[in-house]
């Protein structure tokens, strides 16, 4: 990959939120929201895997 391209995903910013609370604050808040969503997804996936395993026992 070229040194000019960044191998990172884009950060989604809600313009109205950035206008109300500031750009940096909106970035932090969106990142926290993303992390919480990932945490919930991992938890629900783990619960589903446990349910499937118990079903086969």
Q: How far apart are CA 28 and CA 19, in angstroms?
A: 14
**8-48 residue pLDDT tens:** 777 788 999 999 999 999 999 988 888 887 766 666 666 66
Range of the domain at 30: 15-56
Q: Is residue 40 part of a domain?
A: yes
Q: Is residue 8 part of a domain?
A: no
pTM for this prediction: 0.55
Q: Is residue 10 part of a domain?
A: no
* Confidence check: pLDDT of 49 > 70: no
State whether the Cα torsion 38-42-43-45 is positive or negative: positive
């Amino acid at each position: 990959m070229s040194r000019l391209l960044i191998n990172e995903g884009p950060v989604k910013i809600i313009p109205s939120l950035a206008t109300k609370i500031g750009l940096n604050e909106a970035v932090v808040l969106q990142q926290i929201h993303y992390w919480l969503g990932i945490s919930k997804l991992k938890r629900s996936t783990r619960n589903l895997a446990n349910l499937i395993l118990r079903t086969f026992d």
